[in-house]
Amino acid sequence: MPMTAGVGSVTAPERRRPRRGMYVLPSLFTAGNMAMGYYAILQTIQGSVTDWEHFDRAALAIAFAVVFDGMDGMIARMTNTASDFGRELDSLADTITFGVAPSLLAYRWGVLMLPTSVHAHFTQQVMQLGGFACFLFLLCNASRLARFNVTLNPVPRNPGRPGRKYFVGMPTPAGAGVIVAVIHCCKTPIDEIWISLIWIALILFTAFLMISRWRFWSAKELNFGGQKPFRLLALLAVVVILVVAFNDYSLIVLTLAYLLSGVLARLAYSWNRRGGRPETSVASS
């Protein structure tokens, strides 16, 4: 009996560990994320003024990749299969899907399709500016991911309510979401220089928000296992239905609202500090 008990005490912790095959499950969703990014790049290359549907398909592929990106982390936590390899693979996949793919899509859709028959020299300058802006978007995307990987318990410069977790800077899927939501809503490529300049400004501002230290809502305090999970489930169902039924407009409303939420939170914090209010009152607001 003592020998049996001793064997049981050794093997019990080992039985609690997930099987090796379970570690592959989150990586499959990460691979799906990367596949959507690769498909988006292929569609972007094929897009043109006449075949603008390829741009729309690329935008939708990146939007679907957001779902895969959220699922791999959730599956890893649920199955207790989080690993350093999975985190690094996820970061590399995010760089491709939410960095390379949207920056290329933003350039070809909003800058490269400008007609060069009128104001050719100025158009060329706008194209060069747009190419540089899209590169900065990619650079800020990769920098945001690198900072996330090396920072433990990051705190935003404008702290929110105590006990509530926030993202420091706009998450890369949300940054890519701003780009693809506009493209999916507008459909046809930009053919006016002044609209292209506004587009470039939006790209640069989104890139800045990703590397900023402003707070963005993380939704990590939502608990579907709480006392009243049906309200959250009903709200989530309504959002999903609106996105599916009216995706042309609902996506752009959601992404721009999320972008503005971080900006307004920063402005409110600066306003309260300028008015002489203590930081404790700001944190509890």
The model's confidence at residue 225, banded by pLDDT at 50, 70 and 90, is low
Is the pLDDT at 5 greater than 60, yes or no? no
Rounded CA-CA distance 201/198 in Å is: 5
The domain segmentation of the chain, as residue ranges, is: 22-283
Please answer whether residues 225 and 37 qualify as being in contact, where contact means their C-beta atoms are separated by less than 8 angstroms. Answer: no
Is the pLDDT at 9 greater than 70, yes or no? no
Query: Which two tokens mark 248?
Result: 């042309």
Res 282: pLDDT: 36
The string of pLDDT tens digits covering residues 160-181 is 777 678 899 999 999 999 999 9
Alpha carbon of 185 to those of 59, 96, 129, 140: distances in Å? Answer: 10, 23, 24, 25
The model's confidence at residue 244, banded by pLDDT at 50, 70 and 90, is confident
Is the pLDDT at 238 greater than 70, yes or no? yes
Res 120: pLDDT: 87
- Which amino acid appears at position 31 of this protein? A
* pLDDT above 90: percentage of residues in the chain: 53
Instruction: Quickly list DSSP for 63-110.
Output: HHHHHHHHHHHHHHHHTT---HHHHHHHHHHHHIIIIIHHHHHHHIII
Please answer whether residues 191 and 116 qualify as being in contact, where contact means their C-beta atoms are separated by less than 8 angstroms. Answer: no
Is the pLDDT at 228 greater than 80, yes or no? no
In sequence order, which residues have a C-beta less than 8 Å from that of residue 255 and are 6 or more positions away?
A: 174, 177, 178, 181
Q: Which residue in 168, 151, 40 sits closest to 98, CA to CA? A: 40
- Which amino acid appears at position 163 of this protein? G
- Which amino acid appears at position 39 of this protein? Y
Query: Residues 78-101: what's their mean pLDDT?
Result: 88
Q: Which residue in 110, 183, 171, 167 sits closest to 141, CA to CA? A: 171
Query: Residues 70-81: what's their mean pLDDT?
Result: 79
Please answer whether residues 42 and 96 qualify as being in contact, where contact means their C-beta atoms are separated by less than 8 angstroms. Answer: no
Query: Residues 88-92: what's their mean pLDDT?
Result: 91
In sequence order, which residues have a C-beta less than 8 Å from that of residue 229 and are 6 or more positions away?
A: 223
pTM of the model: 0.84
Rounded CA-CA distance 37/271 in Å is: 40
The model's confidence at residue 14, banded by pLDDT at 50, 70 and 90, is very low
Compute the 3-state secondary structure of the chain and give helix, strand, coil in percent, each to the nearest 5: 75, 0, 25
Kindly tell me the sign of the dihedral angle through the C-alpha atoms of 204, 242, 74, 44.
Answer: negative
Query: Residues 64-93: what's their mean pLDDT?
Result: 84
The string of pLDDT tens digits covering residues 131-140 is 999 999 999 9
Q: Which residue in 243, 222, 123, 227 sits closest to 164, CA to CA? A: 222
Q: Which residue in 127, 134, 236, 219 sits closest to 175, CA to CA? A: 134
Res 280: pLDDT: 41
Query: Residues 40-68: what's their mean pLDDT?
Result: 95
Q: Which residue in 179, 175, 252 sits closest to 216, CA to CA? A: 175
Res 266: pLDDT: 92
Res 71: pLDDT: 84
Please answer whether residues 255 and 261 qualify as being in contact, where contact means their C-beta atoms are separated by less than 8 angstroms. Answer: no
Is the pLDDT at 4 greater than 60, yes or no? no
Residue 201, number of CB atoms within 10 A of its CB: 11
Note the residue count of the chain.
285
Res 66: pLDDT: 92
